[in-house]
Amino acid sequence: MKQALLSLLLVPGAALALPPEAKAPQISLPRLQSTYKEALTVKADFVQEVYQATLARTKTSTGGVYLKKPNLFRWDVLEPEKSLTVSDGRKLRYFTPNAGVQGKGQVIVRPVRDLTRQPLYRILMGSSSLKAEFHVEKTERVNGIVAGEKETRLTLLPRKDAHWREIDEITLTVDAKYLISEINILHSSGNKTRIRLQNQTLGSKLPPKLFQFSAPQGAEVIHQ
Q: Does the pLDDT value for residue 223 go beyond 90? A: yes
173-204 pLDDT, tens digit per residue, is 999 999 999 999 999 999 999 999 999 999 99
List pLDDT tens digits, range 8-41.
Answer: 443 333 444 445 445 556 789 999 999 999 999 9
- Residue 133 and residue 122 in contact, taking contact as beta carbons nearer than 8 Å: no
Q: What per-residue confidence (pLDDT) applies to 8?
A: 46
Q: Cα(46)–Cα(101) distance, rounded to whole angstroms? A: 30
At residue 49, does pLDDT exceed 60? yes
- What is the percent of the chain with per-residue pLDDT over 70, rounded to a whole number? 87
Per-residue confidence (pLDDT) for residue 147, from 0 to 100 = 73
Give the Cβ contact number of residue 82 at 10 Å. Answer: 14
> Omega before 208 cis (within 30°)?
no
CA–CA gap between residue 64 and residue 144 (Å, rounded): 20
- The pLDDT of residue 5 is above 70: no
Q: Is pLDDT at 149 greater than 90 in this prediction?
A: no
What's the pLDDT tens digit per position in 81-98?
A: 999 999 999 999 999 998
pLDDT band at 145 (very low <50, low <70, confident <90, very high): confident
Evaluate whether 57 touches 67 at the Cβ level (below 8 Å). no
Instruction: Fill in the amino acid letter for 156.
Output: L
DSSP string, the chain: -HHHHHHT---TTSSEEPPTTSPPPPP-HHHHHHHHHT-SEEEEEEEEEEEETTTTEEEEEEEEEEEETTTEEEEEEEESS-EEEEEESSEEEEEETT-STTSS-EEEEEETHHHHTSHHHHHHHT-S-HHHHEEEEEEEEEE-SSTT-EEEEEEEEE-S-GGGTTEEEEEEEE-TTS-EEEEEEEETTS-EEEEEEEEEEES----GGGG---PPTT-EEEE-
DSSP letter at 53 equals T
Model confidence at 165, pLDDT cuts 50, 70, 90, reads: confident
Q: Which pTM value belongs to this model?
A: 0.85
Q: What is the pLDDT of residue 23?
A: 59
pLDDT of residue 117: 87
Cα separation, 22 vs 68, in Å, equals 37
Does the pLDDT value for residue 119 go beyond 70? yes
Please indicate whether residue 63 or residue 18 has the higher confidence score (pLDDT): 63
pLDDT at 43: 98
State which fold the 2-223 domain adopts: outer membrane lipoprotein receptor (LolB), chain A (2.50.20)
Q: What is the pLDDT of residue 146?
A: 74
- Cα distance between residue 145 and residue 205, in whole Å: 26
Integer-rounded Cα radius of gyration of the chain: 18
Q: Where are the domains of the chain?
A: 2-223
What is the predicted pLDDT for the residue at 34? 96
Question: What pLDDT does 22 receive?
Answer: 52
